[in-house]
Structure 1
Amino acid sequence: MTHARTPLRATTASAVFATLLAGAALGLAPAAQAAPLAPLPTAAQAADSSVRFVDIPGDGGATLAANVVTPRGADGSQRLPLVVLPTSWALPQAEYLAQAQKLADSGYVVVSYNVRGFWQSGGEIETAGPPDVADASKVIDWALANTPADPDRIGMAGVSYGAGISLLASGFDKRIKAVAAMSGWADLVGSIYSGRTQHAQAAALLSGSGELLGRPSAELRQIFQDFLGSDLAKEKDIVEWGKKRSAATYLDRINANGAAIMLANAWGDSIFPPNTYAGFYEKLTGPKRLEFRPGDHATGELTGLLGLPNDTWNDARRWLDRYVKGERNGIDQERPVQLKSRTADGYEGYPSWSAVPSTQRRVDLGETRQITANADSGANAGTVLLTGALDQFLKIPPLVSVPLLSRERAAVWQTDRYGTAQRIRGTVRLHTTVTGDKSSGTAVAYLYDVDALGVGKLITNAPVTFHDRTPGTPFAVDLDLFSTAYDVPAGHRLALVVDTVDPLYIEHNPDGAHLTFSSPKADPSYLSVPVRD
């Protein structure tokens, strides 16, 4: 991480911009006190349930600001199922009020709490570290002592940061019977440092919003400084820090505890890409469900937070009803992997993630390409939060004119036009041989759907970075692009574009560097495209 081309000043500016963008998208105002994202219950709703705001003692004495929503007539004479909702990163405790109301109306006690370090809660931001996991258990303890919650019927759910904490908590508290983790992560390192490349805008958004709306710990500030500052000497420490905050690290504990796990995410999540959820899902041994939809980070759940109809929240409530309440509602009889294509309506059900593609279509990359680094080719993956949302709501992904791309700055391979539609489903994989004339470098791969006019719509992308390579010596690269579901129309072709600069990522190409992509006879280069025939 020593040759980064993104200066800290630019990163700080990106953090402020991204934070304001996130606030606009989620209804936040950067103020010192909590501002509800959804309206407080109406008089009619209040007749069906009660809402009270409380302080809960968390781990180490930190106070957690919370709200408790209970069903109408809950007088303690009978025990009721409990759902605990940790808030998203930088959002106030009223985030889930609309969904808490729906859950309470169906018979749950709901405790939603502000995670430590944000808004009215005490402590410092620990980024889903051990204190955050311990806080979840403390909230359950409090609910059992102060509400009519049933100790044998407990679930957790959350969006983004709340999803990550809920998933981690299921590995450390056997009382948790079910989790609905929406727009979260299973592998923090694989999410914001995939391909050994810093996801600059994602990290800047988290850092900037944490500074504006929370109280970062000294450790967190140092982690962000080292990460965004590309301090390669601290890489091992950063990776270890991330692993401690990743559910994948505690997979054996989660499986042993046996909680029913529902994972939901958006194809275009620019903070926590879908790949880590997909890999984690396949290794779960208990009841499980995986859902992917179009969108960006948390946009798939946003309308539900506002109290509007929402597929993800509907399925989350059904999941909790089945595995916390014990209702036989049929969700466990559905195919557990549910996907919605970015280009088609309706859902597709599969028995497993590995069963999603029916075949792998190989595209040979036989011709050698050399490009100059540190120059923008015109291809890019867009802007954090905004790009996936535009794709979700307006069907407008990042566009590029493939014929106009500079072949000096971008390596381009294209297929012939397809006679039939190509239903891409799953994870596109690139295998190639790279030779750099410097010891470090970064490449970003993009896959485009190209029409007859040469206009390419971005299907997926991913970065890869190398360090400490011998200049002039070829080496193999295997890169998984971010998982997706996209239908390429008949008459279109696929284009693979590889360049070295993208605003989403920090690149590590020294001045004057060149990258060569070749296809040796003993190890041919290719693109493996998962399709559903």
Structure 2
Amino acid sequence: MVHPHKALRTSTTATVSAALVAGAAFGLAPAAPAAAAGTQDAAGTQAAAGIRFIDIQGDGGTVLKANVVTPTGAGGSRTYPVIMLPTSWATPQVEYLAQATKLADSGYVVVSYNARGFWQSGGQIEVAGPPDVADASRVIDWALTHTPADPGRVGMAGVSYGAGISLLTAAHDKRVRAVAALSGWGDLIDSIYSGRTQHLQAAALLGGAGCLTGRPSPELQQVLKDFLGSNLAKEDEMTAWGRKRSPATYLDRINDNGAAVMLGNAWGDTIFPPNQYAEFYERLTVPKRLEFRPSDHATAEATGLLGLPNDTWTSAHRWFDHHLKGAANGVDSEQPVRIKSRSSGGYETYPDWKSVGADAHKVALGGTRTIRANVDSGANGGILMLSNALDQFLRLPPVASIPLLPRSYAAVWQTERGAAAQRIRGTVKLHTTVTSTEESGTLVAYLYDVGPLGLGKLVSNAPYTFHGQTPGRPFAVDLELFSTAYDVPAGHRLALVVDTVDPLYIEHNPSGAQLTFSSPVADPSYVSVPLREE
């Protein structure tokens, strides 16, 4: 049942409709029925030199629409390393043709296919469930049978949905020796349900785009209904559903199988935030690499999909060249964590993720602040896919006038102006004590870079939802904001803002609720900021 305290303040129907409109704006169209099995022979239809469009029998005989690109002049007894490319969510099978051609030109066989349930592939959308993983293995089978692919040099790569399927396949199919998972997820629950808070815009966009371009399974339709409807009675079921689709659940298998794993993501990814990828990376014991850049979901890879120069795809090619071809290109000797600040153009390298934010500075959050719930104070995380893309290309992050934020609806703490520039690297952490007038509620924390005129540029944010608390009884809250790399100019200050409403998330504040933030002597409140002074 829906949480009894209140109906959703944001109309799920309106949000899904907006997502459908957004999908149409991206050029997506309703999927046509899948072609029947056997409509093409194993060789496929010749479309251009080296490129064939084919049907591949997936798990249970499901037809997967695919294309295969082979190196020019391939033939005879020579074999080549092979890379499988499952498509992104709601994206047609031609998504990777530019990159597939580049890879084939450098000596790879490349097979790209539409995941089941999307476009003209058969079946229903399973959200990287067991049938999707089984499909990937069937695609590998097909490639080893019908192309000059070397069974000892199998790789997988993908953006977003393709990244998740690639990591899951590496856990279940030992033939996969290298993976490049771009803008993907390690933990699906921690991605769209972090802080026990539904990421409304992310889930609605994925659901809307799935309906527009494919055929969601009944299970997916029910999960989305329960998730967007705040059906807490189904929370355990939804969590179990997500865990089954999380590479982190099978991390021991990935480590045992030994595939080399490259992870690439964006600081501002509003669908799969960077924290969960970094945590997944740290637990890997295989050859690994982690790269973070400024952008939103999948925008860091977008120019590469058009065939233009692209840092992310260049790294992926180098990764495969070393681990599938044995090229001595230095990938194995470079520091494996590579990040790019949202504020400056250069790359920084580190030996591991924990070294990125090694120098944490605690800022005391003194005094007591009481705020009313149910009203957006003006501090928010922006708009899915848009705000962080503007930050990436124009350096225009979401902003708020800190002096004008209504203190009745926003708790605000500010530091003194910094005499020198400061570099934020890693994960900002909030520890505070909260007292609520109701048993359930949602708060959203924001860190701002505040200039001399009081205009704050968003550095990071994260939501937190609680249930089952005793009204009037204080309880501790520990919240990790989404990881980032941001340079704060000299003369600026930092501001921590906490309110209760953000359009990115579903909030659980009963009408008339109030939240009080305090700092007991025995357990002081603070925000821990990983700062590195220039």
TM-score (structure 1 length as normaliser): 0.95
Q: Any conservation in 2 of the 1:49–1:71 contact (CA below 8 Å)?
A: no
Aligned to 1:17: 18
Deviation at 1:329, TM superposition (A): 1.1
Q: Any conservation in 2 of the 1:93–1:112 contact (CA below 8 Å)?
A: yes
SS at match of 2:471: coil
Q: Distance in 2 between matches of 1:93 and 1:347?
A: 32
Instruction: Please identify, of 320-329 and 193-202, the stretch whose mean Cα deviation from structure 2 is larger.
Output: 320-329
1:119 is aligned to 2:112: no
Q: Distance in 1 between matches of 2:129 and 2:167?
A: 12
Deviation at 1:325, TM superposition (A): 1.4
- Alignment-mate amino acid for residue 21 of structure 1: A
Deviation at 1:366, TM superposition (A): 1.1
Q: Any conservation in 2 of the 1:22–1:385 contact (CA below 8 Å)?
A: no
Q: Distance in 1 between matches of 2:81 and 2:6?
A: 52
Gaps of 5+ in 2: 34-45
SS at match of 1:169: helix
Aligned runs of 1:8-47 on 2, under 5 Å? 10-22=11-23, 24=25, 27-32=26-31
- Alignment-mate amino acid for residue 29 of structure 1: L
1:463–1:4 distance in 2 versus 1, CA, 3 Å: farther
Deviation readout 1:459-510 (Å, 9 max, x if unpaired): 0000000001110011000000000000011100000000000000000000
CA RMSD of aligned residues (A): 1.6
Instruction: Please identify, of 11-20 and 282-291, the stretch whose mean Cα deviation from structure 2 is larger.
Output: 11-20
Q: Distance in 2 between matches of 1:419 and 1:344?
A: 19
Q: Any conservation in 2 of the 1:3–1:230 contact (CA below 8 Å)?
A: no
Aligned to 1:221: 221
Aligned to 2:431: 431
Gaps of 5+ in 1: 35-45
- Alignment-mate amino acid for residue 498 of structure 2: V
Aligned to 1:39: none
Aligned runs of 1:250-269 on 2, under 5 Å? 250-269=250-269
Q: Distance in 1 between matches of 2:279 and 2:273?
A: 12
Deviation at 1:60, TM superposition (A): 1.3
Deviation readout 1:40-71 (Å, 9 max, x if unpaired): xxxxxx99951001100001111110000001
Deviation readout 1:303-342 (Å, 9 max, x if unpaired): 0011111000110011011111111111121110000000
- Alignment-mate amino acid for residue 15 of structure 1: V
Q: Distance in 2 between matches of 1:48 and 1:121?
A: 22
Deviation at 1:33, TM superposition (A): 5.2
Deviation at 1:21, TM superposition (A): 3.0
Number of residues paired by the alignment?
Answer: 520
Aligned to 1:383: 383
Aligned to 1:477: 477
1:411–1:381 distance in 2 versus 1, CA, 3 Å: same
Aligned to 1:132: 132
1:427–1:405 distance in 2 versus 1, CA, 3 Å: same
Aligned to 1:417: 417
Aligned to 2:442: 442
Aligned runs of 1:156-235 on 2, under 5 Å? 156-235=156-235
Deviation readout 1:2-31 (Å, 9 max, x if unpaired): 15867498223222323443554xx53324
- Alignment-mate amino acid for residue 136 of structure 1: A
- Alignment-mate amino acid for residue 374 of structure 2: N
1:23–1:169 distance in 2 versus 1, CA, 3 Å: farther
Q: Any conservation in 2 of the 1:59–1:138 contact (CA below 8 Å)?
A: yes
Q: Distance in 1 between matches of 2:427 and 2:159?
A: 24
Aligned to 1:351: 351
Deviation at 1:283, TM superposition (A): 0.7
TM-score (structure 2 length as normaliser): 0.95
- Alignment-mate amino acid for residue 10 of structure 1: S
- Alignment-mate amino acid for residue 19 of structure 2: A
SS at match of 1:521: coil
Aligned runs of 1:148-163 on 2, under 5 Å? 148-163=148-163
Deviation readout 1:175-200 (Å, 9 max, x if unpaired): 10100000000000000000000000
SS at match of 2:222: helix
Instruction: Please identify, of 324-333 and 66-75, the stretch whose mean Cα deviation from structure 2 is larger.
Output: 324-333
- Alignment-mate amino acid for residue 157 of structure 1: A
Deviation at 1:72, TM superposition (A): 0.8
* Aligned residues with identical type, % of pairs: 68
Q: Distance in 1 between matches of 2:6 and 2:293?
A: 33
Aligned to 2:531: 531
SS at match of 1:508: coil
